[in-house]
Amino acid sequence: MSCAVVACAAGARDARACRDALEVPRTILALYDGTQLASSRISPIHRYAEMPLNDLGYRLVYQDVAHGLGTMPDVPIAATLSWFEGPVPDPAGLAAGLADLRDTCGHVPAMLTLGDIGLDDATIATAAGAAYLGRLGVVAGSDQISVGTSAIVQKVDDRLIGYDTMFDIRTGIQTRIMARDPAASYLTLDTGSDTIDLLVISPGALYADSSVLVREDPRGGPLWVSDPFALFELALGSSQWPVPDVTTLSGRRIYFATVDSDGWLLRLPARQFGDQPPFASEVLDSDLISPFPDLPVSVALIQSDLDANVAGIAADRGRAVASHLFGQPQVQPATSGASMIYNWSFFADYNAQSEQALLLGGATTSVDSGMLVNAIRSLGDQVSPRSLLGGGVGGPRKYVNTAFDLWTETAGAIAASAAIAPGDTAPPLYRWSGDAMPFAAALSSVSAAGSENLGGGGGRLTMVRPSLANLMPLGFRTDAGLQVYDALDGDADYTQGWTSNTAAFYALQQTLDRTEAPRRLKPFQLSFAARSAVDFASRSAVRAHLAYARSAEVTPVTAARYARAVIGYDAVQIIAEGPLTWRIQDRGDLQTVRFDDAVAWSVDLSRSNGVLGARRTGTSLYVALAPDNAQPRVTLLQSNAAAGLVPQGSTPALVHARAEILQSARDNCISRMVLRGFGPGNTEWLGAPDHAYDVEMMESDGLTPAFWQTLTSDAEGRFSVEFPLPGSAPTAIRFTDACNGS
């Protein structure tokens, strides 16, 4: 038996010191049983609970209880969270460890137990078992009880139950759980001879039986029976601290777009005999990217698609398209590797003979794995020999012309994409292909090459998939670092790989609407593949979403910029410095924090520093941080000011902008800033009421005015400016006013 949970926890407390006793606890220790699940990636915690917890500001660190708790993190622990399917291998160790658990800062974490409590009957009867259940706010009966068809609901709180679907009584043998004061039951069954509590909550504790959590429904996928936000907020308390937020930048919802190379070399059907039909990648360029210079997009290449020795003579035209795209300022170079990996785990312990045997044993080969109609359309394509392809059903990758090599697939592909781009560019983004479940060494290789990574995850929220349970968390933590997930599903997900209704991608608009209100859950990600340029319906859907992005109130950024914000979310520390004052540090490129239920609160700019401005959206208050301030301080005051902030003299404060602010400074009545954006730089500011401001935008030398005007703020102090930003290059602006030296 591995070390008991209690022994590991005690040893951890002795071994590591608290990082900062004033740090807001936002790390949750997520416990799973490796004897029940092969990986935390497939745990119900990761699949269902982590997304709402991310939205509430929490990061999860997973621990396999089959090996004890291990070394406790040196950060404050907000809670432990479990979602077991039955008793764990060492129930006595689990009970003893959690009953007396403290983090390295001396805090007693909250205890969130979903599904099975993880104890067997023998452990429940012990003092350690009773203490464990006592922390949870419940007691357990000495005998299991039968819940039959005659059982009825004795008590239910409709504010919590019936979120996506109604509660159904689950019959069978169950451990009798009963709430203990001061905990309260929110759902109680009467079996005819006994009562059993299925949902028990108290400050610092939550017990929820699996029947009140997520239920699979073939009509709409998984559905939440209870309100996950309400469950966690009741147990953890509402976030009375600045929540790190990756959905928003400069007061607006983030927009970014990604293009995958699936179908890069597919031909469109010829319009008449003798025509040379275009490739999907050529139509992608002419119809979906070049006409939209104001919308940044990350285009991921498969290097073998561009190699004539592998993909045939079509590769030269495919490379020409890539070169043209990478020369456009709104296009961020990206790669998805060399050979289009479909099954990443196959290559974790790669053996070329095993791959050969798999292909010879019946894994089909094809140029593309989509619709039969697309195969018919592409009959005229010059494709590589069957011996070079393994990308059909059962094949672990598309191109098998050479043995798998990790460097070639990761760092080498990154370098190859960078070589296509003109000039000195940042390392291209790495987009995970296929099942998007990279092994640790692959993630480590991408990180070592200096690239951000993105892929997997996603999710949708539509009429046919209406539940939050369909949305994935921000990413997945491995020993090699954080895999950053897509924010939303792309065209392949909506169209089932272009095998069903290819107009289904229009439903992305439903997801965008439902993840914006009543609470902003996700940024606006438009993810599509070159293949969508082939089909009229899917191409039209992409154009509709691009048109909407142009008109929507968003801040367009590159996909790599979003990935860096997620990495910042994972690392950020929030330090409480006093009543209503917090210091934000180690945040990387995370530039927004959020206060929920903040209608009565505003940012006090006179007592804050490193704050650009703030904006209300619904009942939340989004605060924009200055990127060039490593440790901004945010202070609130009680005020329901419409703008969500109380300005400091006449200094212009940001309300929102269709651009990112990179630098800011104020000196002798002049506010200087550097902006980066794509297309029109629509901005709104808050200064002194009825006050005149001279506004200038500089040429690339930073000294010569390229744009100048004088504006007067309204009675509230608001004024708007549209800066004609030149592509994606950083641009200096300045505001000058008569401020009496302030």
Residues 207 and 309 in one domain: no
- Among 563, 588, 611, which residue terminates a domain? 563
Residues for the chain: how many in total? 742
- Among 563, 594, 618, which residue terminates a domain? 563
**Of 275, 284, 368, 277, residue with least CA distance to 321:** 284
User: What's the rounded Cα separation, in Å, for the pair 183 and 174?
Assistant: 20
pLDDT at 200: 97
Residues 149 and 260 in one domain: no
In a domain, 418, yes or no: yes
Residue 66, C-beta contacts closer than 8 angstroms, at least 6 positions apart: 2, 33, 34, 35, 88, 89, 90
Position of tokens 């269709």?
A: 658
Q: What is the b/e burial string over 506-522, where b = at least 16 CB atoms within 10 angstroms of the residue's CB? A: bbbebbbebbbeeebbb
User: What's the rounded Cα separation, in Å, for the pair 161 and 164?
Assistant: 9
User: What's the rounded Cα separation, in Å, for the pair 288 and 278?
Assistant: 14
The count of structural domains within the chain is: 3
Residues 233 and 273 in one domain: no
Whether the Cβ atoms of residue 439 and residue 344 lie closer than 8 Å to each other? yes
Torsion from C-alpha of 166, 172, 176, 181, nearest 10 degrees:
0
Residues 121 and 36 in one domain: yes
**DSSP string computed for 533-579:** GTSHHHHHHHHHHHHHHHHSSEEE--HHHHHHHHHHHHH-EEEEEET
Residues 212 and 318 in one domain: no
Residues 215 and 335 in one domain: no
In a domain, 713, yes or no: yes
Residue 443: which H helix or E strand, with range?
Answer: helix 440-448
Residues 556 and 613 in one domain: no
User: Cis before residue 182, ω within 30 degrees of 0?
Assistant: yes
User: What's the rounded Cα separation, in Å, for the pair 61 and 528?
Assistant: 31
Residues 553 and 684 in one domain: no
Whether the Cβ atoms of residue 372 and residue 346 lie closer than 8 Å to each other? no
Helix axes 91-99, 127-136, angle to 10 degrees: 50
- Among 563, 589, 605, which residue terminates a domain? 563
In a domain, 574, yes or no: no
Whether the Cβ atoms of residue 367 and residue 383 lie closer than 8 Å to each other? yes
In a domain, 569, yes or no: no
Mapping DSSP onto H, E and C, the string for 373-430 reads: HHHHHCCCCCCCCHHHECCCCCCCECECCCCCCHHHHCHHHHHHHHHHCCCCCCCCEE
Give the residues across from 20 on adjacent strands. Answer: none
What single DSSP character describes residue 236?
Answer: H
Backbone angles phi, psi at 411, to 5 degrees: -60, -40
Backbone angles phi, psi at 37, to 5 degrees: -130, 140
pLDDT per residue over 84-138, tens digit each?
Answer: 999 999 999 999 999 888 887 888 999 999 999 999 999 999 999 999 999 999 9
pLDDT at 168: 93
Handedness of CA 117, 121, 127, 128 (dihedral sign): negative
- What angle (nearest 5°) sits at the alpha carbon of residue 687, between those of residues 686 and 691? 130
Whether the Cβ atoms of residue 91 and residue 120 lie closer than 8 Å to each other? yes
pLDDT at 667: 85
In a domain, 568, yes or no: no
**Of 576, 570, 566, 571, residue with least CA distance to 24:** 576
pLDDT at 479: 86
In a domain, 211, yes or no: yes
In a domain, 44, yes or no: yes
Residue 532 CA, chain-centre distance (Å), reads 24
> Starting from the edge strand earliest in sequence, which strands make up the sheet with 653-657, in order?
243-244, 592-595, 620-625, 611-617, 653-657, 680-686, 718-724
How buried is residue 273: exposed, middle or buried, by Cβ count under 10 Å (0-12/13-18/19+)? exposed
User: What's the rounded Cα separation, in Å, for the pair 102 and 698?
Assistant: 55
Residue 164, C-beta contacts closer than 8 angstroms, at least 6 positions apart: 223, 224, 225, 466, 467, 468, 469
User: What's the rounded Cα separation, in Å, for the pair 429 and 557?
Assistant: 13
User: What's the rounded Cα separation, in Å, for the pair 245 and 595?
Assistant: 10
Handedness of CA 454, 456, 462, 466 (dihedral sign): negative
pLDDT at 392: 47
Structural domain harbouring 472:
253-563
In a domain, 575, yes or no: no
Residues 57 and 150 in one domain: yes
Handedness of CA 269, 295, 586, 674 (dihedral sign): positive
Other C-beta atoms lying within 10 Å of the C-beta of residue 578: 11
**Of 279, 289, 287, 286, residue with least CA distance to 259:** 289
Residues 377 and 408 in one domain: yes
Which tokens in the block code for residue 486?
């897509």
Which tokens in the block code for residue 688?
């002194």
Residues 237 and 360 in one domain: no
Other C-beta atoms lying within 10 Å of the C-beta of residue 143: 9
Residue 154: which H helix or E strand, with range?
Answer: strand 152-156
- What angle (nearest 5°) sits at the alpha carbon of residue 33, between those of residues 32 and 37? 95
Whether the Cβ atoms of residue 302 and residue 337 lie closer than 8 Å to each other? yes
List of the chain residues with pLDDT < 50: 1-15, 364-392, 742
**CATH number of the domain within which 345 lies:** 3.20.20
Residues 240 and 259 in one domain: no
| Amino acid at residue number 496 | Q
Number of H helices, E strands in the chain: 19, 39
First vs last Cα of the chain: how many Å apart?
68
**Of 593, 504, 651, residue with least CA distance to 24:** 593
| Amino acid at residue number 221 | G
Which tokens in the block code for residue 365?
């080969």
